[in-house]
Structure 1
Amino acid sequence: MMPVVAPLALTAQTSPWSPLSAVAILLCTGLSYLIFKSTSGSTAEAGPVLGMDWPEVIGVASFGHLLGVGVILGLSSMGVL
């Protein structure tokens, strides 16, 4: 029977949090905002946050964080982070 802690030893090592990781998340969230603004058809600046409604803010921030996690995992696997 395999011990309970054995699967933990088989997981990949990830890089610890650093200020560079926060900068990557921030840049990716900004990029997702620019992507949203360039592709959305609405030109009205009526929303409460950066001209977006709250569902749009949540969606853009979520996409930015997912993009940032991918960037951080990719850079850490290359040894940059």
Structure 2
Amino acid sequence: PTPEWNLSVGIVMIVCNVFAFLIGRFAVSKPGSGPSLPGASGSFQNFGIPELLATASFGHILGAGVILGLSNAGVL
């Protein structure tokens, strides 16, 4: 069964997205090849819109799998 949204489900999704962002930050082979993020500075200078969309998509897929797995295990 799919769990209803609550704070723990949101925290799991946030953690999965941050994890995917960290993986994507170091795994992208050609960073900054597309349009850059507006107002990006520091470590985000070579991290553009395509990288953000890719890591956010991966994070949501990862988060959905983790949430479904944890709910089937009875943890969530």
Fold in common (TM above 0.5): yes
* 1:67 match: 62
Does residue 32 of the first structure (1) align with residue 20 of the second (2)?
yes
TM-score of the superposed pair, with normalisation by structure 1: 0.71
- After superposition, the Cα gap between the structure-2 partners of 1:55 and 1:41, relative to the gap in structure 1 and judged at 3 Å, is closer
Paired residue total = 68
Alignment of 1:1-81 (within 5 A): 13-41=1-29, 47-48=36-37, 49=40, 50-51=44-45, 52-81=47-76
Structure 2 stretches of 5 or more lacking a match?
Answer: none
* 2: CA distance, partners of 1:20 / 1:37: 26
In the alignment, residue 74 of structure 2 is paired with which amino acid?
A: G
State the structure with more CA Rg. Answer: 1
* 1:3 match: none
Q: State the Cα RMSD in Å.
A: 2.1
TM-score of the superposed pair, with normalisation by structure 2: 0.76
In the alignment, residue 49 of structure 2 is paired with which amino acid?
A: W
> Percent identity of the aligned residues?
36
In the alignment, residue 55 of structure 2 is paired with which amino acid?
A: V
